[in-house]
Chain A
């Protein structure tokens, strides 16, 4: 089971290694990790995607709470979050398949951000599944290089009628 956890931490040196050390030391898996400052420069937000059973997740959240620098831990459930990743994908391109590539870009609302005679670099944001889907479609063109961020997530506001 894939879990997305958002962690508010004090923005100090060494905090990232406390959190990542906790994961590795206790045998928890990190699939991706994103960290940046919040509106309060004294506080950072980490988004960690981890794979494990419910019981493991419970231990992770409790152990995270125990770290002195951790202010808040939130685990998102599927319905309530907006989750986004960003990927930069450099794809081989030829005169013959250029149009086809651009149509894939269009369909996924991606952008071409760099162009050379033999390659296009595509920028795409979306949730995990969308990124996986676009990669699947681009693979036949020949992916020369790929960089991805981890997920960031935010809870959806409650819908009032």
Chain B
């Protein structure tokens, strides 16, 4: 039976087992909106297209399934760009459909026309302009395949309006067959063997695990690997939750705001095992002095990540889960492992001494104000860690990474690579859509939250009980901290002079708003908020504006040169 492009779109999404779309209608996609009006797929109507993409991103990070976005042409598409760039930097699987003016008008500066394929070429893994309705199913199949395999990423499909009206037979391919796209999953056997030998010969090993562990679903394998060999393990921001934050072998995050123990361990290790991480500048600090004594093993599915920033001794191109399984299979018998653990016992002691010497902490402010870190600790205690945490970007993000312990994968949603303020609220909404009964908290700053605050209405419309904890210091705190430390306390344009009353704002949206200024109020507000199950809540915590994120490695310094609390 013949179907038009819009119906083919819906039928294809059903074939891909898509259950949720985040979108915003407009002229160019009216045909699709007509088709999805009465279909099984849930559509979440957002208030701004950037919100739609971050929601799909949060949905993807929380579930592991690709997020799906539908927006119209022109401004609808350009508004999606920041979200796509965010997902691209963090390798999040996503398929974004944009409307486009009819084929005959492309290039004519038509109403709501933008060359979105051109615009998003550098911030998508791949993109398509559909020029013939007969290609539509093949392209959708390929897009989902590309988005979810290899190093995942967002794929965009641009749909001209006439394609949505044109008719053809609906035949959905079983497989995507792209000869020029064949990611490597299995590690090279010889390299795996070399890696095992190197690890077993080391005395001071450290595992440095990143977002690749979560993307490949390898948290179990990583945990098994580190525990079996007694390897101190640190996570990048993107990797949090990939190794239990509650494990005694866990060193905390490394890098610019990493723990003393993690940064010292990486600086002194003789064998750095990098797993699904990419030696980002926020992790390495001064690159020449990063892990100076180490032989480096690097497992990554993306060959371009290997030896990009740091020369690697044993590269293994492959999927983290596959390679860790291969490594686990090659480990020697219990006796040999016992000997190895003896050989590294002194190192573990040293690492534990570092951890004891400078724990993560903060000073109680003399002015009696709340500490932002304290609020996060209380959120952790109240939820017993059983929550999905989304963050905005800046101090709130770093404190959320430091002071909340992530025991399970896919529970920490944060824009790591691009550092997109305004990410947290929509990402939390996306996660809440996927898991309606879980506690989802967006840890926010008063600056970031205002970048996508309009999505409060989306959360209210769908009865999503997202909790928003605003660490309100009336400053763009991270920038203020840099100004304090490196720009002679010249606080140029970082003070938010005017600010909405967030409690009233929540109420105006039809949500709940609370404010806390004291420790007692913190308890009341968190307890009350966690009980709300049918609408979003804003918790406005008035916190000490002069608090900073520590430890801190000043930009360009080696990571063992930390400013401590």
Contact = CB atoms under 8 A, between A and B. Distances in A.
A25 B303 contact: no
Contacts of A68: 125-126, 146, 178, 180-181
B117 interface: yes
B309 to A, nearest CB: 10
B308 interface: yes
Interface in B430-458: none
Contacts of B126: 68
A17 interface: yes
A7 B121 CA distance: 19
Given A68-B178, A70-B180, A58 B121 contact: no
A14 B307 CA distance: 29
Contacts of A17: 118, 121
A71 B182 CA distance: 10
Nearest to B121: A21
B146 A63 contact: no
B302 interface: yes
Contacts of A55: 307
A59 B308 contact: yes
Contacts of B368: none
Nearest to B305: A62
B179 A25 contact: no
B302 A69 contact: no
Contact of A66 (B118, B121, B304, B307): B304
A69 B308 CA distance: 22
B180 A71 contact: yes
Which interface residue of B180, B181, B308 has the most chain A CB atoms within 10 A? B180
Nearest to B150: A66
Interface in A38-87: 55, 58-59, 62-63, 65-66, 68-71
Nearest to B181: A68
Contacts of A63: 304
A25 to B, nearest CB: 5
B180 A66 contact: no
B158 to A, nearest CB: 11
Interface in B398-450: none
Nearest to B155: A68
A81 to B, nearest CB: 23
B130 interface: no
Interface in B40-95: none
B187 to A, nearest CB: 17
B530 interface: no
A63 B308 CA distance: 11
Nearest to B303: A62
A22 B122 CA distance: 7
From A14, A55, A63, A66, residue with most partner B Cβ within 10 Å: A66
A11 to B, nearest CB: 12
6 contacts: A14-B121, A14-B129, A62-B304, A68-B126, A68-B178, A71-B179
**Which 9 A-B pairs have CB atoms at the shortest separation, nearest pair first?**
A62-B304, A71-B180, A68-B126, A25-B122, A62-B303, A68-B181, A63-B304, A21-B121, A21-B122
Given A21-B122, A68-B146, 5 more contacts: A21-B121, A55-B307, A62-B304, A63-B304, A71-B179
